[in-house]
Amino acid sequence: MNSTPLSTPLTAPRTAPVTVESDLQIAGDILSVQHLLQPAREHPATVAEFVGLARSIAANRAEWEHLVEYDATTRWYHRLRTVPQGLDSARTGGTPIGYEVWLLSWVPGQGSGRHDHGASSGVMTVLDGELTEHGPRGPLTLASGAQRVFAPGYAHEVVNDTLDGAVSLHVYFPGLTEMPMHSCSPARSEALSV
């Protein structure tokens, strides 16, 4: 009779747990990695393409610089482009999403008030000067060239906290149909219940 001990453990060698990294962890912030950005298209379809559109307009100062006005009594803005959504886009993959491009100026101390953009997503690009965005994570200083991407319903306030004028470019997709104002300012330490 063969007497092999039955108590020999049959376990696999121990290995380190597998770490799954997100695209952001692997590639970093797409807005800071130039080669990952998509070139501008006439009809952007992705967030990266809308970011590329904003960057191409920002780089073409001749298109917008002569339009900028500063007004201390009221907010100044100018619609640069409106591209409607194609009627067949939802059914047949036609023209993707309609969009609008806005140019805004900011005199020292001017702000937007706390607001969101309804059903629109957007890309905000600082063209000149410096702006402060007050959002859910606190204040963020945005220097010339900085970009922010936001989803529908994202509430924030943008303010020129400097002593110089500033200019920003805003791309909304689909086009902006509402901009609900919120009652408290994120610059204060009040919390909104959601």
List pLDDT tens digits, range 29-74: 545 555 555 555 667 888 888 999 999 999 999 999 999 999 999 9
Instruction: Compute the average pLDDT of residues 132-146.
Output: 94
Q: What local confidence, expressed as pLDDT, does residue 32 receive?
A: 54
Q: Reading across the β-sheet that carries 130-135, which strands appear in turn?
A: 138-143, 130-135, 157-159
What gap in Å lies between CA 13 and CA 169, rounded to an integer?
57
Please tell me the pTM assigned to this model: 0.71
Q: What local confidence, expressed as pLDDT, does residue 123 receive?
A: 95
Tokens of 185: 């300012």
What gap in Å lies between CA 23 and CA 122, rounded to an integer?
21
Task: State the pLDDT confidence band at 152, using cuts at 50, 70 and 90.
Answer: very high
Task: State the pLDDT confidence band at 24, using cuts at 50, 70 and 90.
Answer: very low
